[in-house]
Chain A
Amino acid sequence: MKYHTPATFEDAVGIAANATGVTRFLAGGTDVLVQLRADIVTPDDLIDVKHIPGVRDMTQNPDGSWTIGVAVAGAEMTENPALIADWPGVVEGMDLIGSTQVQGRATLTGNLCNGSPAGDAVPGMIAAGASVSVTGPDGSREVAVEDIPTGPGRTSLAKGEMVTAVHLPARGQNGGDAYLRFIPRTEMDIAVVGCAVNLRVDGDTITEARVALGAVAPTARLVEDAATALIGSKLDDAALEALAAAASAACNPIDDKRGTIEFRTHVAGVLAQRAAKIAYARARGEK
């Protein structure tokens, strides 16, 4: 195994593009190192991105949007009041990952690129309309977060490509987001179902919405029918019922050690309703 500490994204991409064996990028390492120790993946080239200037930066841009470096740890996000005020759902998704110790290392980008359908940070990013910058041998591009994962452990990143930053849009007025996951315990577990809702209101009426589900399909997914159920409503019972039905209908889960198909499908609807209520309250400025 070769361990690399490139000083620029260009160098990192160059190493990855020229590598011939198994390659992994290392940010917090909370997935890569665990997989390494468990004999799940033994990389031939391990490319540590933490030496690249700026990767630990978390910046609010003049237009109100946010740029979050690929090595920003969860604990740094949960201690940033401005970020929490704008995107509480994104931050609470990140905050649910692992223990206090893991929070000191784990990153949004790592959670996305690990490709787990159950990654807790991913639905919140999708619902927020987040995108990532991707750099590779053939140049750079911006990609919507929902277009990164393609299946369990798989992403749309080509050989040599890497994520170089996460972008969260400007929050704007009267918006709110929320993320909920179901686990049988209270901590230290992996989502059996995850749901993020992001919406904007005009008075009592929802004018914009995005709903994303995790752990109920091969990838975290944006559920447009669920958003349609919310838009134009005042989150009345009919809208909540339609929301739950749309969320459940979007599920394509598996039966496994963590949950059954019927359980995940039902609970996706329950969590969508609960997350929508929280997001709605936040959008209306209620606590």
Chain B
Amino acid sequence: MALDSKTEFKYIGTRPDRPDGMDKVTGKARYGADAYAPGMLHGAVVRSPHAHAKIVKIDASKALAMKGVKAVVTRADFATDLEGEDWDLLENTIAGEKTLYDGHAVAAVAATSALIAKDAAKLVEVEYEILPCVTDVDAAMADGAPVIRDGAADHSVPEGLHPNVVRYTEFGRGDVEAGFAAADLVVERDFKTEAVHQGYIEPHACLANLGADGKGELWCCTQGHWFVRRMCTALLGLETTQLRVTASEIGGGFGGKTTVFIDPIALALSRAAGKPVKLVMSRSEVLKASGPTSSASMNVKMGMTKDGKLTAATAVFRMQGGAFPGAPMDMTTMLAFSCYDLDNVHHEGFDVMTNRPKQAAYRAPGAPMGAFAVESVMDELCQGLGLDPIDARLTNAVKEGTKSSFGPRYKAVGLIETLEAAKAHPHYSAPLAENTGRGIASGYWMNWGGETSTSLAIGEDGTVQVGVGTPDIGGSRASMALMAAETLGIPYENVRVDVVDTASLGVNEPSHGSRATYASGLAVIESAREAITKLSKRAADKWGIDAEAVEWRDGAAHPSGPNAGDFTPLSIADIAGEMGSTGGPITGHHDASPTGFGGSFGTHIVDVHVDPDTGKSTVVRYTVVQDAGKAIHPSYVEGQFQGGAAQGIGWALNEEYIYDDDGRLQNDVFLDYRIPVASDLPMIDTVIVEVPNPGHPYGVRGVGETGITPPLPAVACAISHAIGHRMTRLPISPPRVLRAIQGKGIS
């Protein structure tokens, strides 16, 4: 759908209160664990304490004998004919022959209370034969590493690699050797990042009710309930539409709630017990057995002339995604050099299995690691050649028509605009205090369209209800209401937006890929336009003129001109009040897989102070500049910018999955899994750049993911400048910084 000619907006770009705000601040909002049903049972999951072990025997007789216990399920209670990704999903949901990571589900219990279920889970006796394990990506690729699953590799993997390497990619163009030869400076560095968790505050929770007739209902906390429906019905051997899934309010997802972990188990327990079953993960279960992101081991080499022109770039990304294929090395390789216009470029990617939980999406999956390596090398090149880091980026920045490092030519994009806005921002020229460094980095996420279905219905009083299928993870109900209001010409307050269940609309992909405001928004606009056509027809019929002679503006039907006739305009309320007798309900509907999504570039500036005696880093100033295309609700755009920066800062400074030699997770609580707390962060300043996306009526680009891509390199570069040592390994924790300051290396 093309960009509208409309440039003046009445509602879009304003900042009304979000419709879900009152419920959330008063505690009325219902999250995953807030669902109850008559006769409801509570579930508990039996989890493997071993990183890698053969399951010899499961004996649930003692648990089943306990008063109040109604059912125990194991792998035998799920579908047996699965293959490919569905088999992987099931294997991750509940172990088959082997447990593959610390916390892998082995069995589950349903009982009349949560306490009984928890106690009964301890009585399920599982006999294990412990196998050697590996959790580090480089170790997992080395000769002699324990094999997680033989035969898991696909056809892309060259001969001679370890069986834990399950996918391989290699692509590029030009002559990189000639390019490096033409450079005045070539920098090559190795980098490592650790696995991190999305850190959503709400643990996974669901309430399942599945009958012996194969019909069921599921209430759960998810970013995409149609995905949940498809996955759960596949894993349980059900017909897709016989399961109705309702998404609760969601306390954070960031990609981690686009798949299933406990929902199929709750359904299996419900089917076995004949009762509704509620299942809620503890924080420890979330950290051990949901889907953190990949860790990465990387090598990046780039060449630059003394004028700042990049001559060649190569990258190797080795990424582990847990005990299953799926580490996002394809995205990492695609986007690593996405900011730069390169004639000579080459990428290699390895998807490696380890004894860790199956990775899930995390905000711009795969992109932050690549940006960390590439932007760090870019910074070092600028430092070595005495170039301003923004000027050097402007010299190489992609723009409309540039052939991207991964192939396609860019449509209208806003990298140059974000760089120019960053350079003009007072932050960039502000003086720096002692022991403080400044980091600059850019980043990109290409965004997504995806299957989308929305509906809109006019109420008898002329107010409007909108049904969307993309759960509201960042204020999207407000944005949808603004787009509907703008299109219909009625006040924002007259539009109610609900995230409706899977029985109410066609298939919707999750709120992922920064697609909700773009794709559901586009569909809402089209739904509103369809309703306008019908409203106009009703007015035309009443006036006895052609529908084409009716013009819709300011929320009312008007005769399009003097030739159409002299009629008093009919407002939406006027038409709605009579619709029962003029043809029945008036609705609009739109289904699409829109492909006009537009990517978003961002540039971040950060100042970090480092305590030279302790190595402690403090982020003292942070500015996000990002292209939103068109900011529908600027506050929630800014919120996305700030949230991405906050999570990226955590990833850069302190967050990491720490496993011991036996593959047991050492930090499965928020005390030791150190996400930033509010007092760790300065107020994060934001600048919204608007280069309209030509593929959306109002120019919207998704903004959710780009913001986590620049912080890793920006923070690392700031610290590197503050201490005079290049930091190439995350997290840049105080012990690592202190070692660097003391000249002991950074490992």
Chain A residues in the interface with B (C-beta under 8 A)? 38, 182, 184-190, 192, 256-260, 262-263, 266-267, 270
Give min CB distance, A138 to chain B, whole Å. Answer: 37
Asked if A186 and B677 sit within 8 Å, CB to CB, the answer is yes
| B738 and A189 within 8 A (CB) | no
B738 touches A263 (CB 8 A): yes
Given A38-B284, A257-B666, A267-B614, A186 and B734 contact (CB-CB distance below 8 Å):
no
* Inter-chain CB contacts under 8 Å: number: 53
Q: Is the interface of B mostly helix, strand, loop or mixed?
A: loop
A190 proximity list for chain B (CB < 8 A): 671-672
Whether the pair A184, B666 counts as a contact (CB closer than 8 A) is no
Say if the beta carbon of B667 comes within 8 Å of chain A.
yes
Sample (26) of A-B pairs whose CB atoms are under 8 Å apart: A182-B616, A182-B734, A184-B616, A184-B653, A184-B654, A184-B674, A185-B677, A186-B679, A187-B677, A187-B680, A188-B670, A188-B671, A190-B672, A257-B658, A257-B666, A258-B672, A259-B734, A260-B735, A262-B735, A262-B739, A263-B615, A263-B735, A263-B738, A267-B738, A270-B613, A270-B614
Docked-complex contact A184 and B658, CB < 8 angstroms: no
Q: Which residue of chain B lies nearest to A263 when distances are taken between CB atoms in the complex? A: B735
* Residue B242 lies at the interface, judged by CB distance under 8 Å to chain A: no
- Chain A residues whose CB sits within 8 angstroms of the CB of B654 once the complex forms: 184-185
The reply on B635 being an interface residue by CB < 8 A is no
Shortest C-beta distance, A37 to chain B (Å), equals 8
The 10 closest A-B pairs by CB, nearest first: A263-B735, A186-B679, A270-B613, A257-B666, A260-B735, A257-B658, A184-B654, A188-B677, A187-B677, A257-B667
Q: With a 10 A CB-CB cut-off, give which of B669, B670, B674 has the most chain A CB atoms.
A: B674
B489 near A: Cβ within 8 Å?
no
Interface of A is mostly: loop
Which A residue sits closest to B670, measured CB to CB?
A188
B396: Cβ under 8 A from any A Cβ: no
Q: Does B676 contact A (CB under 8 A)?
A: yes
Chain B residues within 8 Å of A259, by CB = 734-735
- Chain A residues near B671: list those with CB within 8 A: 188-190
B735 contacts which chain A residues (CB < 8 A)?
259-260, 262-263
Per the CB 8 Å criterion, the residue count for chain B at the interface is 24
Q: Using Cβ atoms and an 8 Å threshold, which residues of chain B touch A262?
A: 735, 739
Assess whether B305 is interfacial by the CB under 8 Å rule. Answer: no
Q: Are A189 and B674 in contact (CB under 8 A)?
A: yes
User: Which one of A38, A185, A192, A267 contacts B680 once the chains associate, using CB atoms below 8 Å?
Assistant: A185
Instruction: Please determine whether B658 and A182 come into contact, CB atoms closer than 8 angstroms.
Output: no
Query: Which residue from chain A places its CB closest to the CB of B660 in the assembled complex?
Result: A257
Q: When A260-B735, A263-B734 are in contact, do A187 and B679 touch as well, CB less than 8 Å? A: yes
Name the residue on A nearest B613 (C-beta): A270
Q: Is the CB of B738 within 8 A of A185?
A: no
Q: List chain B residues, Cβ under 8 A from A189.
A: 671, 674
B 499-552 contacts with A by CB, 8 A: none
Residue from A38, A192, A267 with most neighbouring chain B CB atoms (10 Å) = A267
B614 contacts across to A, CB distance below 8 A: 182, 267, 270
A260, B739: Cα distance in complex, Å: 11
List chain B residues, Cβ under 8 A from A257: 658, 666-667, 672
Residues on B with C-beta less than 8 A from A256 are: 666
Q: Report Cα–Cα, A262/B739, bound state, in Å.
A: 9
Complex Cα spacing A190 to B674, Å: 11
Q: In whole angstroms, how far apart are the Cα atoms of A189 and B654 in the complex?
A: 12
Query: Nearest Cβ distance between residue A99 and chain B, in whole angstroms?
Result: 9
Residues of chain B within 8 A (CB-CB) of A267 are 613-614, 738
B733 contacts A by Cβ under 8 Å: yes
B611-631 near A? 1/0 per residue, CB < 8 Å? 001111000000000000000
Complex CA distance for A242 and B50, rounded to whole angstroms: 47
Q: How far is the CA of A185 from the CA of B674 in the complex (A)?
A: 8
List 17 additional contacts besides A262-B739, A263-B735, A263-B739; criterion CB under 8 Å.
Answer: A38-B669, A182-B614, A184-B654, A184-B674, A184-B733, A185-B654, A185-B679, A186-B679, A186-B680, A189-B674, A190-B672, A257-B667, A258-B672, A260-B735, A263-B615, A267-B613, A270-B614
Q: Which residue of A lies closest to B734 (CB)?
A: A184
CA distance A189 to B734 in the complex (A): 14
- Distance (whole angstroms) from the CB of A153 to the closest CB of chain B: 16
- Point out the residues of chain B lying under 8 angstroms from A182, CB to CB: 614, 616, 734
Interface of chain B residues 652 through 702 with chain A (CB within 8 A): 653-654, 658, 666-667, 669-672, 674, 676-677, 679-680
Complex contacts, A187 vs chain B, CB 8 Å: 677, 679-680
In the complex the two chains form, what is the Cα distance from A188 to B667 in whole Å?
15
B742 (CB) vs chain A CBs: closest residue: A266
* Closest A residue to B122 using CB positions: A39
Kindly list chain B residues whose C-beta atoms are within 8 Å of the C-beta of A258. 672
Assembly CA distance A266 to B612 (angstroms): 12
List B contacts of A186 (CB < 8 A).
677, 679-680
Which A-chain residue is minimally distant from B658 (CB atoms)? A257
Give the complex CA separation of A259 and B658 in angstroms: 12
CA distance A266 to B741 in the complex (A): 12
Residue of A nearest to B676 (CB): A185
The CA-CA distance from A263 to B733 in the complex, in Å, is 11
Chain B residues with CB under 8 Å of A260's CB are: 735
